[in-house]
Amino acid sequence: MSRRERAKGIAGEREVAAIFRDRGFDCDRVPNSGGLRLKGDLLGDVPAHLEVKRQETARPWLWYEQARSEAPPGVVPVVAFRRSRSPWLAIVDLEHLADLMAGAAIAEHQAVDLTEP
């Protein structure tokens, strides 16, 4: 991997960590990402195993398999990725996405019920 590619990857990890921090999570990139025993690109209290990919050519199956194989048992694997001049996207198992959406809908419904007389 070239120095430029490595710098691009580190910048991507910092961008994704900032997105999670902006939403209240304690999240930072793993120091020396890929070179330590710690798996994943980010650490903190985000309830997922995060792999970050900042590449022009998408390889979703390979990326997701990496995240899935490195995620600890019971932890949702997520791949955050983008190419230049594009928004960040995420790959997550559809079952987990449905669970997240159901939880958000329940929370929204409960919030509405709490505000009504």
116, pLDDT greater than 80: no
How far apart CA 48 and CA 71 sit, in angstroms, is 8
| Residue at 27 is within a domain | yes
Q: Which domain CATH number covers 27?
A: 3.40.1350.10
| Residue at 51 is within a domain | yes
Q: In which domain, by residue range, is 50 found?
A: 3-92
| Residue at 38 is within a domain | yes
| Residue at 74 is within a domain | yes
Query: Which residue matches tokens 């919030």?
Result: 111
| Residue at 100 is within a domain | no
The whole-number pLDDT of residue 110 equals: 73
The whole-number pLDDT of residue 20 equals: 96
Domain count, the chain: 1
| Residue at 12 is within a domain | yes
Q: What is the pLDDT of residues 1-54, one digit of tens each?
A: 789 988 998 999 999 999 999 999 999 998 866 555 667 889 899 999 999 999
